[in-house]
Amino acid sequence: MQLSTPIAKLSQVGPAYQKRLKKLGIKTIRDLLYHFPHRYEDFSNIIPISQVRLNETCCIKGRILEIENIRTWKKRMILTQAIVEDKSGAIKVVWFNQPYLTKVLKPGDNLCLAGKITFGDKGLYLSNPAYEKISQAKALIHTGRIVPVYPETEGLSSRWLRFILKPLLVKFKKKIPEPLPEKVMRDSQILPIQRAIWQIHFPDSLTLAKKAQKRFSFEELFFISLFVLREKLKISKERAISIPFNLRLIKNFIKSLPFELTDAQKKSAWQILKDLEKPRPMNRLLEGDVGSGKTVVAVLAALNVVRAGFQAAFMAPTEILAKQHFQGISKLLKKFNLNIGLLTGKENKIISKKAIPQGVAKNWRKNKVIKISREKLLEQLKKGEIDLLIGTHALIQERVRFGKLALVVLDEQHRFGVEQRAKLATSNKQQKTRIIPHLLSMTATPIPRTLALTIYGDLDLSLIDELPRGRKKIVTKVISPENRQAAYDFIRSVVKKRRQVFVICPRIEPSDKKKIEKEVLSWAEVRAVKEEYQKLSKIVFPDLKVGMIHGKMTTKEKEEIMKHFSGKGRKDKKIDILVSTSVIEVGIDVPNATVMMIEGAERFGLAQLHQFRGRVGRSKYQSFCFLFTDSPAKKTHQRLKALISSENGFELAEKDLKIRGPGDFLGQRQWGIPDLAMSALKDIFLVEKTRKAAKEILEEDPELKKYPSLRERLEKSRERIHLE
């Protein structure tokens, strides 16, 4: 048997347990050995029975005097009662609904028991304890020591996992190779792998358990850092088109804007334009709060690329946002005579002021949006006649080829690998070296420092940390149940002034399932929206026009809803209040919307709430954000108060990371990073230490020729850590 052997080969693991283990992502012996405890119970202090105290958790050793099952008709349960004694005295032990214990445990058996001391009708008793028979041949596993408690699933207990893991560890711990280089081990002073794997499962002390956890946290973060830094190194060796900085053009563009750029926008634009001058691909993340003006900076960069004689691509996460960008960017660039195309899953258009598309000459007018067949659009794109193409993931389809692509801009999609970029550009067989487009990724999600160094460590960072001048502070209030009606009255008064309202609904997760498939969750979210829509349109605001939008609608339905909510003319604005899911159409820009109402605010992270809030406050009118919560929890109100007291998304992201942890912040399913590494992402000192170690290894040996095991591990990391 090897570490890669499937768990099905283990004699103790039958088909039922194989299914349960698979739910936890355990398929091989290595997976099982790396299924680490998430906490420990300290049962190492064994005390005499005479010293037990009420409400204390303790561990005792003793002999069973008697044991029996008793049925309680009042609560309809079976109690298993035993009397256990040692030299100092005796105590009653009670287990609930475990009648099989009378077949397992018999009078005369010597036991080690660990549990809480409770007071009953006849005095103190040990309630529902962990138990273990004492044998001279075997060491204690479940009691009388530091006991590991594992992430579990239905039908799979920590007790069963301990039973399976101990003999496996005895057999395999010497077979586990040390993946970290000797130099890293020496400099970092961490436990070697074979000792750490034992101590994390069956530690001799809590101190050694923490050292083992730290070792595996270090290992995971080291490989993440090594992975992203190596990706960065790879990109630096690729070739890109050097785009000269056209200062006169940029000045003319800035003058054409109906607003003044902030200092942060100017600084970010400068960093991007200087990157574009280099003959290696830019790999930059433009980070800024909702409404901070990231798109204008991206358009400025795209214009500079197009005027140099090349093409740019702009990719949005949804069709509605792609259309919004098409309309908004066309306005920003209307004085610069560009061919701007739109390509989504269902639509293709072009706005042309430079080259009239073949076959539509009769319909072409200045500033007119022209519908064009997909074949003609793709043909023009390949010839290089479309300067800027805006779209969804349809841009990375096999048939889409740019003639001279130099820049890719991503909106809220942080990952877009070198290979994906290379596929967009039409290959030139005469070129010995391939040309990779520059990449600018934009996000409104503030990224904490530790994540910027690890998960996003291959990206250079530009920050827009100030909002456009003249923006009014958004008034944010937590609305308790007793003040709900007053908030509704205020919303009605706002609508009477011809302003509009967003309502965000939380996802409702069925309580009877621990893990739910993504499709089920999305339907649950739709259900929440439909219920809120019915309540607001029929009961709360029957006199107002309430609309609804969610991901299960067709594109046409969503576009129709958005037209009625964000139309330019009064006739188009038929919706006063729009009820939406929590994730649908992030980035929608409706300046006339001045109230953001968030139901179940306690269910969202601080950074996400801050993003919702940023969808209002985008005009001269005073805007408001109402956080509705029924939760009386003190922690909930502390979190929401942090949102009220802070206008800075970056500061909130740091708080959010500390409160919720990286798992919720990033989404563990999406990133595939183990729990220990997720927790360690909060530790800036450990993150910096691992990054330094990874950097030193790559400086010494960029190709990792001296470290073949590292190279092999990195290839496996590519499959597991979804960075593209």
How far is 360 from 364, CA to CA, in rounded Å?
6
Q: Would you put residue 253 in left (φ > 0), alpha (ψ -120 to 50) or beta? A: alpha
Instruction: Decide if pLDDT at 476 tops 90.
Output: yes
pLDDT of residue 511: 38
pLDDT of residue 721: 55
Please report which confidence band the pLDDT of residue 452 belongs to, taking 50, 70 and 90 as the band edges: confident
Please report which confidence band the pLDDT of residue 678 belongs to, taking 50, 70 and 90 as the band edges: confident
CATH code for the structural domain at 475-646: 3.40.50.300
Structural fold of domain 42-145 = OB fold (Dihydrolipoamide Acetyltransferase, E2P) (2.40.50)
Write out the two tokens for 286: 């433009």
Cβ pair 388, 302 in contact under 8 A: yes
Q: Which residue has the tokens 């010293």?
A: 51
Q: What are phi and psi of 463, to 5 degrees?
A: -115, 130
Helices and strands: H and E segment counts in the chain = 25, 22
Quote the DSSP letter at residue 289. -
Please report which confidence band the pLDDT of residue 495 belongs to, taking 50, 70 and 90 as the band edges: very high
Strands (E), 87-162: 89-96, 110-120, 123-133, 146-149
Q: Which residue has the tokens 């841009």?
A: 395
Mean pLDDT for 550-566 is 82
Please report which confidence band the pLDDT of residue 720 belongs to, taking 50, 70 and 90 as the band edges: low
Q: What are phi and psi of 267, to 5 degrees?
A: -65, -45
Q: Would you put residue 128 in left (φ > 0), alpha (ψ -120 to 50) or beta? A: left
Q: What are phi and psi of 77, to 5 degrees?
A: -135, 165
Cβ pair 67, 106 in contact under 8 A: yes
Write out the two tokens for 535: 């309540």
How far is 204 from 391, CA to CA, in rounded Å?
58
pLDDT of residue 487: 94
Write out the two tokens for 338: 């560009």
Please report which confidence band the pLDDT of residue 174 belongs to, taking 50, 70 and 90 as the band edges: confident
Give the residue from 65, 60, 68 showing the smallest Cα distance to 108. 65
Q: Which residue has the tokens 């893990």?
A: 515
Question: How many residues in the chain?
Answer: 724
* β partners of residue 677: none
pLDDT of residue 519: 41
Q: Residues 15-73: pLDDT tens digits?
A: 999 999 998 889 999 999 999 999 999 999 999 999 999 999 999 999 999 999 998 87
Write out the two tokens for 712: 């092999």
CATH code for the structural domain at 249-464: 3.40.50.300
More confident residue, 607 or 666: 607
Q: Encode burial over 39-72: b for 16+ CB neighbours within 10 A, e otherwise.
A: ebbebbebeebeebeeeeebbbbbebeebeeeee
Mean pLDDT for 558-571 is 74
pLDDT of residue 203: 95
Write out the two tokens for 433: 């070296």
Q: Where are the domains positioned within the chain? A: 42-145, 249-464, 475-646
Quote the DSSP letter at residue 356. P
pTM of the predicted structure, to 2 decimals: 0.76
Write out the two tokens for 391: 């779209």
Q: What are phi and psi of 548, to 5 degrees?
A: -140, 140
Instruction: Decide if pLDDT at 199 tops 50.
Output: yes
Least confident of 118-132, 182-196, 250-264, 584-598: 584-598
The answer to whether 249-464 and 475-646 have equal CATH topology is yes
Write out the two tokens for 448: 């904490």
Write out the two tokens for 159: 């007790």
- Burial environment of residue 357 by CB neighbours within 10 A (0 to 12, 13 to 18, 19 or more): buried
Mean pLDDT for 259-267 is 94
Q: Residues 271-330: pLDDT tens digits?
A: 999 999 999 999 998 988 877 889 999 999 999 999 999 999 999 888 888 888 888 899
More confident residue, 611 or 185: 185
H/E run at residue 504: strand 500-505
Cβ pair 442, 591 in contact under 8 A: no
pLDDT of residue 289: 81
Please report which confidence band the pLDDT of residue 365 belongs to, taking 50, 70 and 90 as the band edges: very low
Please give the single-letter amino acid code of residue 224. I
Share of the chain above pLDDT 70, in %: 86
Cβ pair 348, 392 in contact under 8 A: no
Cβ pair 667, 518 in contact under 8 A: no
How far is 229 from 351, CA to CA, in rounded Å?
41
